Structure 1
Amino acid sequence: MILGDVIATLKKLPDESIDLVIADPPYNLSKGSVINFQNKGLKGFGGKWNKVMEEWDNLPFMDYLNFTHEWLGEIKRVLKPTGSIWVFGTYHNIGLINTVFQLLEMEMINEVVWYKRNAFPNLAGRRLTASHETLLWAHVGKGKRDYYFDYKASKDFSDETDQLKERGKQMRTVWDIPNNKDREELKFGKHPTQKPLRVCRRIVNISSKPGDVVLAPFAGAGSECVAAKELGRRYIGIELEKEYVDIANKRLAATKQVKTLFD
């Protein structure tokens, strides 16, 4: 785990050194999801990114766009031609992520809907209850489709919590995975947007091989890195807040490698 700014840290990584990226960036939704177009002083894509933590999830639209373009640009540089990236998002930011993929000429592989049967109710009663997150899966493009995908592992997968997936059937783009975390996942503390290991393990197993390097640029409490270690992958986690780096390191120290997710 690396304590530091995501873009500054990414710039230190060598070209084509990463096999898989699992990114859970800020969704930009803190104050009622208002998009703010007031910023007039930006230099354009790739400009210097400088922000304070209290504004992390409530940025003017162009700030957020520039930030997304810059960190995804670094991801494109560090990904191997055989690598790929998964990005978590919601309606607040997922369209922008897709747009930046296109600006960077990164090719979409799949859009996956993660259906949450146990989602929180909408207490205000002013809109439908949000019951899913979206994951975008993409690769570096460049006219080739050399990204790694373990088709057999995806077919062999079976989980009693997923009512939409049968062993031996092709994995679909709707995943039925509860959002609750096991007690062990919260043993050392938690992050506000912590992802269940069930989701992270699935991504790691179908998108990488044992020994590959998995990068979590917004690592939080380290679920992506824990899943990578369990499944025999190497990992790099980047996190800005020391509190969560400490939680992630404790989780990783307590994590043992398992043989395979699908045994």
Structure 2
Amino acid sequence: MSKSPRNKTIDFSLANAPAGVLNQILHEDDQLEHRAAVIDQTINGDAFNVLPRLPDKIADLAIVDPPYNLNKKYDGLDFKKMTDSDYRAYTQRWIDALLPKLKPQASLYVFADWQTSISLAPVLEQNFTIKNRITWQREKGRGALTNWKNGMEDIWFLTRDPNNYTFNVNRVKQRRQVIAPYRIAGQARDWKETAAGRFRDTMPSNFWDDISIPYWSMPENTGHPTQKPEKLLAKIILASSNPGDLILDPFAGAGSSLVTAKKLNRHFIGIEQSLLYTAWGEYRLQQTDAGDSIQGYTDGVFWERNTLAAQRARHHHH
């Protein structure tokens, strides 16, 4: 089936991988023990085999998008729904592999749906300090006749040390349109007059309703079934790391967290067991430069979905 010219989805096959993509990817049997060998690289392999071979205490931030406890096909690898206790054991296994790779003041973000969260939460609590449960609103979601449509996903914000961790609250303010300004002594408070209207930069909360799921006309879109948007990952990376820090993603999928880290001047290491998804991620990384734009994030501020300035910024994208 041929794609519309506006369709930017990255979904090439391995046989048609662009030149210079496959030979850049590291594999399980490569030299992975030294920082210089793995920094800013994607590694194709099983996280449980790769993590033990990476240097210890390397990561300032880990972004973890494990398979949710549902039946799902990922590039021919089937993930089968487990019992709760088996999923908890699986979670503890990846935590045990990941923990030695985190610095003592590192943070960790773990993605889940509400059902997976029920299994995850007790395990996360045994191993980390739970700082928050972020809920983000997915625009899409299948309607259901006998239940409420699933329109939300969870992100658990965890730290190793309850008090010593990075959180840059001023890097993740959200710009909201001011309908009726909040006044103090007759003066409208905190809002900015711009060509696109009146806006107020608000403190970020644990409910994110400004995220668009990648779709076919967006350059970041791939054929991956559970791809996370760059804008969502940018919030995490800006809040919980600093420029030059290293971000580790043990289930990197099509590389969205790595691409976002690179755009935001962070180092990264990604591990992904599907060679196809790793290749899509590597291709995206090769198309990316530090400082490249992230849809919905301009001038250091996150814009509400579909606001004028965000639309305008979109047209300037490469």
Considering the TM-score relative to the shorter chain, is it more than 0.5?
yes
Please give the secondary structure, in 2, of the residue aligned with 1:135.
Answer: strand
**Does the 8 Å CA contact 1:29/1:92 hold for their aligned counterparts?**
no
Could you tell me which of 114, 117, 120 is aligned with 2:136? Answer: 114
In the alignment of these two chains, the number of paired residues is: 229
2:271 aligned with 1:248: no
2:172 aligned with 1:154: yes
**Does the 8 Å CA contact 1:108/1:138 hold for their aligned counterparts?**
yes
| Counterpart code for 1:173 | N
| Counterpart code for 1:5 | D
2: CA distance, partners of 1:133 / 1:170: 21
1: CA distance, partners of 2:44 / 2:214: 27
**Does the 8 Å CA contact 2:70/2:79 hold for their aligned counterparts?**
no
2: CA distance, partners of 1:55 / 1:173: 32
Structure 2 counterparts to residues 105-144 of structure 1, below 5 A? 106-116=128-138, 118-122=139-143, 124-141=144-161, 144=162
| Counterpart code for 1:86 | Y
**Does the 8 Å CA contact 1:213/1:234 hold for their aligned counterparts?**
yes
Please identify, of 125-134 and 53-62, the stretch whose mean Cα deviation from structure 2 is larger. 53-62
1: CA distance, partners of 2:259 / 2:113: 24
RMSD: 2.1
Counterparts in 2 of 1:199 and 1:70: CA distance versus 1, 3 Å: same
| Counterpart code for 1:150 | N
Pick the structure with more strand per residue: 2
1:117-169 C-alpha deviation (Å, 9 max, x unpaired): x22232x401101111010000113xx411111022123x4378xxxxx6532
**Does the 8 Å CA contact 1:27/1:57 hold for their aligned counterparts?**
no
2:92 aligned with 1:69: yes
Please give the secondary structure, in 2, of the residue aligned with 1:93.
Answer: helix
1:185-223 C-alpha deviation (Å, 9 max, x unpaired): 12xx42100011110111111111111000111110000
Q: Which residue of 1 aligns with 2:212?
A: 178
| Counterpart code for 1:75 | L
1:8-47 C-alpha deviation (Å, 9 max, x unpaired): 111112222101111111111118xxxxxxxxxxxxxxxx
* TM-score, normalising length: structure 2: 0.67
2: CA distance, partners of 1:72 / 1:167: 39
| Counterpart code for 1:109 | K
Counterparts in 2 of 1:170 and 1:193: CA distance versus 1, 3 Å: same
Please give the secondary structure, in 1, of the residue aligned with 2:55.
Answer: coil
* Amino-acid identity (%): 32
1: CA distance, partners of 2:232 / 2:176: 11
1:68-127 C-alpha deviation (Å, 9 max, x unpaired): 1011122222111221000110122112222112222x10111101012x22232x4011
